[in-house]
Amino acid sequence: MKRFFLPTLFLATAASSAFAQVNNPSSAERFAKPSSELVVRENKYYARTPLVVPDDIVLETSGILALPGKKLIVTTRRGEVWIIEGAYDATAKPKFTLWASGLHEPLGIIPAPKGGYYIAQREELTRVADMDGDGHADLFETICKLPISGAYHEYAFGPVMAPNGNLRVTLNVAFGGATQAPAPWRGWIVEITPDGQLIPIAAGLRSPCGFTVTAGGVWFYAENQGEWAGSGRITEIEPGDFMGHPAGLAWSKLAGSTVKLRPEDIQDFEKPYVDVAKTLPGLKLPTVWFPHAVLGISNSDIKEDTTGGKFGPFAGQLFVGDQGQSKIMRVALEKIKGTWQGAVLPFREGFDCGIIRLGWGEDGSLFAGETARGWGSVGPSQQGLERLTWTGETPFEIKEVHAQPDGFVLTFTSPVDRATAEKLESYSIAGFTYLYHKTYGSAPVKRIGCPVRKVIVAPDGLSVRLASGCLREGYIHEIKAAGVRSANGSETLVHPTAYYTLNQIPGGDRIMPADPKDAELCVAPVPAAANASTKKHPNKAPADWTGDDGDVTLLLGTQPGLKFDKTELTAKAGSHVRLVFQNGDDMLHNFVLCAPGKGQTVGAAALLFGLDGAEKNYVPDSADVLFHTALTQPGTSDTIFFSAPATPGDYDFICSFPGHAALMKGVLHVTAK
Ligand SMILES: [Cu+2]
């Protein structure tokens, strides 16, 4: 997970029925705004039902397993295991029975073939069972110890049962400090035999909250943005792989390790991940990148749709939860030249709380387990459990994206309207990628437009083939089909944008010959906008100032843990202020001076930025923004020159990088002249 905290004021949610369970009444007023258009539309196809939880239970759901007879067994971050009856009923109050307690932050539960359940706790994999049949657990059998140092970020996720009957567990790295893998196998995925033998599989994981093995036997895990991870992503895991975070390499020399890389092989590359992968054997390319703040900020559990159509038109695809943005994304994969790749799309947002666990119900509904504690999340609740059901109506969506030698094929859930689908202007494509470096997260880099040159609509209207220039292997391609309408009723797509990670460009027939001018046309524009001097980013002293220093110099720095080094600054009304913003932290930050009381409003608006956010320093175009610095790299500074407001008062300042404003805030006291 992350240490990012989201302002929960932000909302992108939800039908009024969703308010049935508000565990934190003080946050109810945060829901004063009307539901967004998108969520209202999503509700038509996928209905959300929060479970009613008794007031005396804190259901920070961390593991979900459906039991026969429409029951569930769930674990919580507080170490409890509950059996829930009536969880499928929209109106009745479910019955909760405490089955076990006293576990150490369990983060998953699966059946154990010899009875009871396997549960991963922070420091061990355990079999828990009810031997005397009284309805409560009485056996707690340690299968395998998982060493920890005590750092709060040392989560153990799982287990997931491998096809061979062994159990896999993923082990988070610790946060910060000289080493983030203070105990063996932190930063690894390991396999444990039922008799407790530990087999290391792959290294370089950072915060692998979710992982799964598909019906086809392929393992994928979800990674959070963070240090060494430019953005969220899911990646195929095979034995011997290195996933990018160097902390776990401390243990690659131990007996049993299949990973050949050593800590000294990794430096602060500061280059696109795909470029480093070409020269660093073993570094695994992400299967599908999830653009940060666009498709989640802390992606969590992965569930393959094995319902055979009971959950709608996406059978065989993957659903991936997100903790910070309280939403679920959808992934459609394909294998090209031996490499997995594919598209991620938005699926459903507007949940009550951050999602860390997903679990199928026995009727093909999807349960979402929720918690906000320690991280914050969008929505009114601090924890909970919701059920998502397909209403039986088919949403008009991009169903799959398939790479072609000269572009992409998009398939749809229902036929497209030919007139709009045949127009080039109905589409746009752009490529970009993320840096591989020690810094926490990366802005999207090397973004270029990919001109759409030809469209062929299939006779049945269920797919279109797009030919485009400027495609790059290893890059993410943002594919928009905003102009396409449905044949039936001229509807727009519910979610018109897909992000396809093009690890391999396939061979085969082209529909457009390669343009010899491609190479010169496809040049990344220099994103000068971010550093330009503007009225609100005045990075040069005005000519009419006497000297460059103005009347007062304010020094502002940053500290780890999303903090400015000062929360109060003072300047006289109308005085000439030179503000030096020095970012000494290991993450990207800015300084945004806002109108009195408007800091959190501006911070919430910054969360809505898509990929263009970096070019705009994540500063919303708003009258509430008075002045700001550039988005400043770790160890660098930006200086701005402005006249303090003429009206005395307390002016908010924040960092507007998505997710920071709730904690990174302060006040500029403007005093009378
Ligand atoms: Cu910040």
343 CA from centroid of ligand 1 (Å):
29
Q: What's the rounded Cα separation, in Å, for the pair 32 and 9?
A: 10
656 CA from centroid of ligand 1 (Å):
6
User: What's the token pair of residue 351?
Assistant: 């949940």
584 CA from centroid of ligand 1 (Å):
11
- Torsion, Cα 136 141 146 152, to 10 degrees, reads 20
548 CA from centroid of ligand 1 (Å):
27
538 CA from centroid of ligand 1 (Å):
20
SS3 55: coil
587 CA from centroid of ligand 1 (Å):
7
Q: 478 phi and psi, to 5 degrees? A: -85, 120
Residue 635: per-residue pLDDT: 82
Residue 489: per-residue pLDDT: 85
660 CA from centroid of ligand 1 (Å):
5
Helices and strands counted in the chain (H then E): 5, 43
Four-residue CA torsion sign, 173, 179, 183, 184: positive
> Would you identify the CATH topology of the domain 398-525?
Immunoglobulin-like (2.60.40)
Q: What's the rounded Cα separation, in Å, for the pair 303 and 669?
A: 50
Q: What is the DSSP string of 532-601?
A: ---SSS--S--TTSSSSS-SEEEEEEEETTTEES-SEEEEETT-EEEEEEEE-SSB-B--EEESTT-HHH
199 CA from centroid of ligand 1 (Å):
39
590 CA from centroid of ligand 1 (Å):
6
Quick one: residue 88, left, alpha or beta (phi over 0 = left, psi -120 to 50 = alpha)?
alpha
658 CA from centroid of ligand 1 (Å):
8
398 CA from centroid of ligand 1 (Å):
34
**CATH level 2 (architecture), domain 16-390:** 6 Propeller (2.120)
Residue 16: per-residue pLDDT: 29
> CATH topology of 398-525 equal to that of 530-671?
yes
Q: Please choose, from the candidates 491, 289, 293, the residue with its C-alpha nearest in 3D space to the C-alpha of residue 397.
A: 491
The Cβ of residue 152 has, within 10 Å, a number of other Cβ atoms equal to 12
Residue 40: per-residue pLDDT: 92
The answer to whether 65 and 81 have CB atoms below 8 angstroms apart is no
SS3 273: helix
Q: What's the rounded Cα separation, in Å, for the pair 538 and 544?
A: 14
Q: What's the rounded Cα separation, in Å, for the pair 355 and 347?
A: 14
For Cα atoms 365, 370, 374, give the angle at the middle one, nearest 5 degrees.
Answer: 165
Centroid of chain to Cα 194: 33
Q: Please choose, from the candidates 414, 429, 360, 417, the residue with its C-alpha nearest in 3D space to the C-alpha of residue 390.
A: 360
SS3 annotation, 221-258 = EEECCEECECCEEEEECCCCCECCCHHHHHHCCCCCCC
Task: Kindly give the parts of the chain with pLDDT less than 50.
Answer: 1-34
User: What's the token pair of residue 491?
Assistant: 């509807």
Question: Where do the domains of the chain lie?
Answer: 16-390, 398-525, 530-671
Task: Report whether the peptide linkage leading into residue 159 is cis, meaning its omega lies within 30 degrees of zero.
Answer: yes
Q: What's the rounded Cα separation, in Å, for the pair 167 and 478?
A: 36
Residue 57 burial (10 A CB sphere; 0-12, 13-18, 19+):
middle
394 CA from centroid of ligand 1 (Å):
40
417 CA from centroid of ligand 1 (Å):
44
Which residues neighbour ligand 1 (ion) by CB within 5 Å?
589, 655, 657, 660, 664
Four-residue CA torsion sign, 586, 592, 596, 599: negative
624 CA from centroid of ligand 1 (Å):
18
Question: At residue 652, what is the residue type?
Answer: D
582 CA from centroid of ligand 1 (Å):
12
619 CA from centroid of ligand 1 (Å):
12
Quick one: residue 71, left, alpha or beta (phi over 0 = left, psi -120 to 50 = alpha)?
beta
For Cα atoms 283, 287, 289, give the angle at the middle one, nearest 5 degrees.
Answer: 100
Q: How many residues does the chain have?
A: 673
562 CA from centroid of ligand 1 (Å):
6
Task: Render pLDDT for 4-25 as a digit per residue (tens, 0 to 9).
Answer: 333 332 222 332 222 222 223 2
576 CA from centroid of ligand 1 (Å):
25
CATH number of 530-671: 2.60.40.420
The Cβ of residue 625 has, within 10 Å, a number of other Cβ atoms equal to 21
